[in-house]
A and B are shown apart, each in its own frame.
Chain A
Amino acid sequence: MYKRQTKLEKVLTYIALTVIMLFFLLPLLWILRTSLITKVEAYKIPPNWMASLTFDNYISIFKDNTFGQYFFNSFFIALASTVVSVLLGAMSAYWIVRCARRSDRMKLAILVTQMIPPVVMVIPLSLIVKGLGLDDSYIALIVAYLSFNLPYVIWMLFSHYESIPRELDDACAVDGCTRAQTYFKVVLPLVMPGIMSTAVYSFIVSWNEFMFALNMTGLKTRTLPVAIASLDTQQGVMIAELCAATIVAILPVIFLSIFIKKYLVQGLTFGSVK
């Protein structure tokens, strides 16, 4: 892709990446360690490197606290909301870029909705949800999450569509394709990497969302962030259990990396279509 790299450059790149990775990884390793010891060990300084390891924290969050259920709730809600936003948002972004008469104003209008902090949005929204009898239901959160996921997806994809030459669409139109045919057959495959990275992020934001989840869930639909926050109790932070729960909460990264691998690493190169 670029100019051929020298061996030295390659080695330096890997060294740099390893150092950077450690910056992110070391705190994570500490979380892992903390999840396997007791609270009194967790705060020992100098650290007791020989502390005996225990799975009690994991047992406690799964047995006493049904984190399995919370994990499923979070996963289902985040995935559903992401899928819906990507399906709707990808098409709308395309329409705004290619067809809208006042695209700037539309862009700004969508963005403006994201500037009001969720703190003020959550009260009216959860009152509506409660009024409709939808509190403690999956659908409430899935729809509520569209309020930030959908604008995000639309906005992220603008630049991806804009980077595709308009002539491509026009050529298809000349060939007799409808807008929809052009979109699904020609444009969509080209923006797949963009869609995937957008979807990954929108999944993660839904996965981490706290305020809507706090106000709209009950015991049945409680999500991981709410459950994790409730480990910060009025009898102390259950730091060891909290770390165990955090380790569980980062597991979907394995699931995400499948998508990442397909679209980022193998990198469908744009140059091949012209």
Chain B
Amino acid sequence: MKSIHKHSGDSSIRTARRKDFLLFMLPSLIALMLVLAIPLAYSLITSFFDTNLKYQGLGEFRGLQNYIEVLKDTYFTESVLTTLKFTVCVVVLEFVVGLVIALLLNNIYKARNFFFTIIIVPMMITPIAVGLIWRLLLHSDLGIVNYLLSLIGISGKAWLADSSLALGTVMFIDIWQNVPYMVLVILAGLVTLPTEPYEAAAIDGASRTQSFFRLTVPMMMPTFSVVLLLRSITALKTYDLIFVLTRGGPGTTTEVISYHIYQQAFRYLEIGKASAMSYLLLLLIVPIAFLFIRISRSRTT
């Protein structure tokens, strides 16, 4: 933690520090303020009001009433569980698969770019198109997937209409689209790892598995924790894909928090309730995020 810059307290260093701040931080802070401050404040304020976009103004002040109502709504509380299930499954699976692919790619030189370019293509497709295309592929009656399965004697499934399969299908499609992200980030970390420790380990006769767990994992820990954290946040907010694939159905099996937020905000125009839901989601994520930050810092120091 202690750097030379911090040691001496004389004023020239302090002005240098201030200059650095202006150069390094100020532009970002201004940009962030510009785009984030007002929307965040707006949603925080409206979460305490009976704000409906149909009517002018903020509406009646409701205190915590929005929050209480939302928490009393069993459809919402059930969706919290679905969201957690979805997030944990996709993040873990995407991470594991992404790590394996990145390790394999890091082991080859020939055609690495070729494999990599093809693997990241699914990421380039906008989620709405991904949803619509997979609806074509998975069409229970007219889809290629069920047809191919029937060729090998497996009877087709109603992938998106069967309440026991729908969530799994959505997860699968999410994985298809987002594994490339994991590969991209993890591979970027792997190629920057120093080579000396591995050479030393090889001389000591360490096996590949040993050097993976003793060298790669600790050195990659900061990257791992960041991708897990950032991906968890985006997964908790997943909305487009579910909106196109199932709209929360069949029944309520794929209703996630952001679907409720969407419904309240854009369908019912109840922006007050939607904001309250968003801030509840935030309360859910902040402790996890804080924990992550603590863990990743203790690892690096």
Contacts and interface: CB of A to CB of B under 8 A. Distances in A.
Q: Choose among B29, B104, B125 the residue with the greatest number of A CB atoms under 10 Å from its CB.
A: B125
B282 A116 contact: yes
B24 A201 contact: no
A249 B124 contact: yes
Interface stretch (B65-73, B85-93, B108-116): B108-116
Given A2-B208, A116-B282, A155 B230 contact: yes
A236 to B, nearest CB: 11
B268 interface: no
B59 interface: no
A3 B202 contact: yes
A111 B233 contact: yes
Contacts of B113: 257, 260-261, 264-265
Contacts of A115: 233, 236-237, 281-282, 285-286, 289
A143 B34 contact: yes
A113 interface: yes
Given A88-B31, A162-B222, A232-B132, A265 B116 contact: yes
A128 B35 CA distance: 10
Contacts of A43: 136, 139, 142
Nearest to A147: B35
B159 interface: no
Interface string B174-186: 0010011100110
Given A16-B104, A115-B281, A264-B188, A94 B32 contact: no
B137 interface: yes
Interface magnitude class on chain B: 35 or more
A121 interface: yes
A146 B32 CA distance: 7
Contacts of A68: none
Nearest to B136: A239
Interface in B189-247: 189, 191-196, 198, 202, 208, 211, 219, 222-223, 225-226, 229-230, 233, 236-237, 239-240
Interface of A: 1-3, 5, 10, 13-14, 16-17, 20-21, 23-25, 27-28, 30-31, 34, 42-47, 84, 88-89, 91-92, 94-96, 98-99, 104, 107-108, 110-125, 128, 143-144, 146-147, 150-152, 154-156, 158-160, 162-163, 166, 169-170, 173-174, 178-180, 183, 190, 193-194, 196-198, 200-201, 204, 207-208, 210, 224-225, 228-229, 232, 237, 239, 242-243, 245-246, 249-250, 252-254, 256-257, 260-261, 263-265, 267-271
**Nearest 10 pairs of A and B residues by beta carbon:** A197-B188, A159-B222, A267-B191, A95-B24, A225-B126, A147-B35, A92-B28, A124-B42, A271-B194, A121-B39
